Amino acid sequence: MNGLLVLAGAFVLARLFFVATNYENFREHTVHFSNINSVAEDLSNLQGTLNLGLRASLTTDGAWPAEATAPLTDELKSLRTRIRLLGQDQEQDTKEIVTAVSSLADSVEQALALQPRDPKAASVAFSQLTDERMPAVWKLMLGTTRQGLTTVDVAQAKITHGDVLALQYGLVGIGLALLAGLGISYGIFDSVIRPIGDMHRTLLQVLSGDFRGVSLPRREDEIGAIGRVIEDIKARSEHVHRLAYYDNLTGLPNRLRLSRDVGEITRGAGDQRTFAVMLIGIDHFSAISSGFGPRYGDEVLRQIVKRIEPRLGRDGKLYRYSGDIFACALRECASDQEIQGIAEDLAQLITADFQTPIHAGELDTTLTVSIGVALSLQTERPDEILTEAEAALLEAKKGGGNATVTTVRQHSEQFRRRLKLADDIRKGIDAKEFEPFYQPVVDVERGVTVGAETLVRWRRANGQIMMPAEFIFVAEESDLIRGITKLMVNRACSNFAEWNAQGRDLRVSFNVSARLVQVGLKEIIVDALQRSGLPPDSLEMEITETVLIGNQSEAEKLLQDLKKLGLRLSLDDFGTGYSSMGYLSRFQVDKIKIDASFVKSLAAGDKQREVVASIVRLANRLNIDVVAEGVETVEQMQQLRAMGCKLMQGWLFAAALPAPDFPRWVDSTGVLLDELTRQNKMPTAIRGL
């Protein structure tokens, strides 16, 4: 009996020693994990301040508010202090986290440095950080949180394993030695094993992302201390999880969560099961946010959520996909026809609901929605399903919105081709494959070329030249138009500065699209003029009525700023819009360009010729230059000349020319015009250029 007691006691002491040696390791891992969560908390505060500042910038014409700089600086200091503390840990993942968060902090400081001299540039930089860099850091933090929980769980498992074995051996010895050991063992189980088991289950739940309540021991001993550490880990992990997977404004799960859930549905769906993803886009929502302010826009979004969620019921779950786009993952069904029927019914209900104005604050707003639906294919990955839904939504918005499109293969293929083209454009910008071509503007009275209109061409690596119609839409849609414009303006200003320095007197013009108004065109022009030395009055900006539709205040401010710089303004496609005459009085227009459709109509009769003649007379009386576009025949040139129009451009004279050919054409303009007049037809020399 005594020998058995001694043996049982030896086993108990040995296993308790094992527990003691592993407890320190467990403590170190929990402290490390606590440091990571502290960094995550400061990072969350920093993101919150950035979001508030960016919302406030919407009411200050995109300028970063100065009052947001001080709290942002304080949070950066706190974040760097937490990073230094984390850097002292010896864990393997510390270096990657410290590097990523430190790099983000450096980028925020660099953007802060822009605020005093260029608040708009600071706001753009902060927006890029929150849209691109911040999600990547959060993804890294979330992955590290899971890894840390696994490490803590392993250390806890070792302690649990040690405790269980110690008690098992002890109970065997004590049971053989004395039946009274049963009472002692029960007490130990109730006070040690059961609490440790609860803590172990809690760690496993946190590791799997399940934060539903599990009771932990409330004690003042070592087990109670471990329980409090685990509760702290659970709370911090839940906070990090919510920041990563949920939208702060609406409380809905976000795009990252949708991708994860769709992946789980795809993996769990059988061969005979299907589901769908629905994207719900609010048409023209940016006009509401910019017109009434971000606070009103946020309240409208919250009201939209209240209106859509009840309609989903058990058929789907609502997510916030992006700014004004919501998503719904519809439940699994047995066939494509069944899921398509559910999607179409939901789309009809949601569309009908939006016929009733949304009440937010003191205003009522009537909205329409565009809906894109993607039916899943069993072989598709989650990102492919979402791409299908985006393609369908884009198709629904093409006709002005207020439509529903269920994706078909050709839509998704078109969307993929646009994505591929956008990637090729990005590479083409880096390789400087875009180049300006120049269509001459000719003074037929003096027989000289006075300038040119700049037209972009894409010379691919294989030598193929792509016309703007093949890529401009994608460039504007993906915000790559800024890079193309910067290349064109810099090259054109450099070319014309060089040619004018050789004794020529030429002006160069650019077309201003609605998208260029929003991408910092003024800064691009100022930089190009400074680099090239071209005088500002040698540069013309051609505007159309479409530039002012939808973003009139931004466009008018840009045009006023360009006039202050000394640039000339040209009104393109004159006579085709609703307000062309009004723009002559609103802006200080230096030139008008008669649209090619009027030039073609000269042969149609006296009324059409009188319209063109009236435009020319009006321009001459207002002391505004007038250019006729699309001149293709000698007869058109002679008629326009008789009306008093001296400046012309069109294929009669030359198509758009690459830079190396343009000076030769300029120097031979007089000879070519003489030949044109003599032969009363387009000469071969002009055709060949």
- Our CA dihedral for 76, 78, 80, 82, rounded to 10 degrees, sits at -150
The pLDDT of residue 42 is 75
The pLDDT score that the predictor gives to residue 90 is 66
Count CA within 13 A, CB hemisphere, residue 390.
15
CA distances from 464 to 85, 460, 470, 486 (A): 57, 5, 12, 22
Using CA of residue 482, residue 487, residue 488, residue 490, what is the dihedral sign?
Answer: positive
Instruction: Render pLDDT for 620-649 as a digit per residue (tens, 0 to 9).
Output: 888 899 999 999 988 899 899 999 999 999
Could you tell me the pLDDT band of residue 20, with boundaries at 50, 70 and 90?
A: low
- Residue 355: its pLDDT value, please? 83
| Most confident segment among 36-50, 254-268, 311-325, 529-543 | 529-543
pLDDT value of residue 455: 95
How many CB atoms neighbour CB 588 within 10 A? Answer: 12
Confidence grade of residue 292 (pLDDT, cut at 50, 70, 90): confident
- Choose the weakest-confidence range: 141-145, 208-212, 445-449, 569-573: 208-212
Coil, helix or strand for 520?
coil
pLDDT value for 687 = 38
Question: What would the mean pLDDT of 360-389 be, rounded to a whole number?
Answer: 76
- Only one residue has tokens 């700049």, namely 454
Instruction: Tell me: pLDDT of 358 over 90.
Output: no
More confident residue, 560 or 30: 560
- Residue 149 predicted with pLDDT over 50: no
pLDDT at 543: 84
- Which of 17-31, 108-122, 172-186, 294-308 shows the highest mean pLDDT? 294-308
**Which pLDDT value is given to residue 444?**
92
pLDDT tier at 203 (50, 70, 90 boundaries)?
Answer: low
Give 504-542 pLDDT, tens digit per residue. Answer: 999 999 988 766 766 678 889 999 999 999 999 999 998
Of 195-199, 422-426, 563-567, 635-639, minimum mean pLDDT range: 195-199
Q: Is the pLDDT of residue 445 over 50?
A: yes
Q: Residue 422 has what pLDDT?
A: 86
Report which of residues 582 and 120 the model is more confident about.
Answer: 120
Residue 474's pLDDT is: 81
Task: List CB contacts of 277: < 8 A, sequence separation 6 or more.
Answer: 258, 262, 327, 328, 329, 330, 373, 374, 376, 385, 386, 388, 389
pLDDT at 601 over 70: yes
Residue 491: pLDDT over 90? yes
**Tokens of residue 195, six digits:** 């609490």
The residue type of 332 is: E
Q: Using CA atoms, how far apart are residues 355 and 343, in angstroms rounded to an integer?
A: 19
Residue 561 burial by CB count (10 A; 0-12/13-18/19+): exposed, middle or buried? middle
How confident is the model over 88-117, as a mean pLDDT? 78
**Proportion of the chain above pLDDT 90, given as a percent:** 19
Averaged over 450-461, what is the pLDDT? 94
State what percent of residues in the chain have pLDDT above 70.
70
Query: In angstroms, rounded to a whole number, what is the distance separating the alpha carbons of residues 280 and 302?
Result: 14
For residue 592, give both structure tokens.
């008008």
pLDDT (0 to 100) of residue 685 = 38
Q: What is the mean pLDDT of residues 255-273?
A: 75
Name 384's Cβ contacts closer than 8 Å, sequence gap at least 6: none
Q: Is the pLDDT of residue 361 over 80?
A: no
Write down the pLDDT at residue 198. Answer: 67
Lowest mean pLDDT among 199-203, 262-266, 532-536: 199-203
Quote the pLDDT of residue 682.
46
Both tokens assigned to 101: 């968060």
- pLDDT beyond 50 at 222: yes
Strand order in the sheet with 274-282: 316-322, 325-333, 274-282, 369-375, 404-406
- Return left, alpha or beta for 105; rule: phi > 0 is left, psi -120 to 50 is alpha, else beta: alpha
Is the separation of the CB atoms in 265 and 319 below 8 Å? no
Distance CA 294, CA 248 (A): 15
> 447: phi > 0 → left, psi -120 to 50 → alpha, else beta; which?
left
In the structure, what pLDDT confidence band is assigned to residue 152 with cuts at 50, 70 and 90?
very low
* Residue 114 contacts residue 88 (beta carbons within 8 Å): no
pLDDT of 286 above 50: yes
Question: What is the rounded distance in angstroms from the CA atom of residue 637 to the CA atom of residue 634?
Answer: 5
Give the whole-angstrom CA distance, residue 275 versus residue 281: 20
Helix (H) or strand (E) holding 328: strand 325-333
DSSP state for residue 603 in the 8-state scheme: G
- Burial class of residue 314 in the structure, from the number of CB atoms within 10 Å of its CB (0-12 exposed, 13-18 middle, 19+ buried): exposed
- What is 78-125 written as a DSSP string? HHHHHHHHHHTS--TTHHHHHHHHHHHHHHHHHHHHHTTT-HHHHHHH
In angstroms, rounded to a whole number, what is the distance separating the alpha carbons of residues 627 and 442? 9
Please give the average per-residue pLDDT across 308-327, as a whole number: 86
| Segment of 266-275, 330-339, 677-686 carrying the highest mean pLDDT | 330-339
Mean predicted confidence (pLDDT) in 569-597: 76
Q: Crossing angle for the helix pair 285-292 and 294-312, nearest 10 degrees?
A: 140
More confident call, 519 vs 651: 651
Q: Higher confidence at residue 576 or residue 592? A: 592
Would you say 492 and 454 are in contact if contact means Cβ atoms under 8 Å apart?
A: yes
Res 378: pLDDT? 52
What average pLDDT does this structure show over 33-61?
Answer: 75
602 φ/ψ angles, rounded to the nearest 5 degrees: -60, -35
Average model confidence (pLDDT) for the chain?
77
Residue of 247, 351, 260 whose CA lies nearest to 307: 351
Question: What number of residues does the chain have?
Answer: 689
Q: Would you state the pLDDT for residue 443?
A: 94
**How many distinct helices (H) and strands (E) make up the chain?**
26, 17
Highest mean predicted confidence (pLDDT) among 413-417, 476-480, 596-600 = 596-600
Strand 568-574 and strand 507-512: the pairing is unpaired
**Residue entry with tokens 């902060």:** 126
pLDDT of amino acid 430? 93
Per-residue confidence (pLDDT) for residue 627, from 0 to 100: 94
Residue 686's pLDDT is what? 40
More confident residue, 299 or 12: 299
Most confident of 175-189, 195-209, 304-318, 506-520: 304-318
Are the C-beta atoms of residues 369 and 327 closer than 8 Å to each other? Answer: no
645 vs 149 pLDDT, higher one: 645
Q: Is the pLDDT of residue 22 over 70?
A: no
pLDDT at res. 683: 42
Q: What is the average pLDDT across 142-171?
A: 53
Across the range 401-405, mean pLDDT stands at: 80
* 41 pLDDT tier (thresholds 50, 70, 90): confident
Position 467 scores a pLDDT of 93
Q: Maximum Cα–Cα distance for the chain, whole Å?
A: 132
Q: Which string of b and e fits 84-96 if b means at least 16 CB within 10 Å?
A: eebeebebebbee
Say if residues 363 and 312 touch (Cβ distance below 8 Å).
no
pLDDT of residue 177: 57
Looking at per-residue pLDDT, the higher value among 122 and 651 belongs to 651
Written as one letter, the residue type at 623 is N
pLDDT at 545 over 70: no
Per-residue pLDDT averaged across 448-461, rounded?
94
**Given this model, what pLDDT does residue 434 score?**
95
Q: What pLDDT score does 311 carry?
A: 83
CA angle 385, 389, 395 (to 5 degrees): 145
Give the residue from 401, 420, 219, 254 showing the smallest Cα distance to 326.
Answer: 254
Helix axes 521-532, 481-501, angle to 10 degrees: 30
What is the rounded average pLDDT of the residues 98-126? Answer: 80
pLDDT in tens, 405-440: 876 554 556 666 777 888 899 999 999 999 999 999
3-state secondary structure of 273: coil
Q: Strands 465-466, 448-459: parallel, antiparallel or unpaired by DSSP?
A: antiparallel
Among 498, 564, 485, 488, smallest CA distance to 534 is for 498
Count other C-beta atoms under 10 Å from residue 72's C-beta: 21
In the predicted structure, residue 579 carries a pLDDT above the cut 50: no
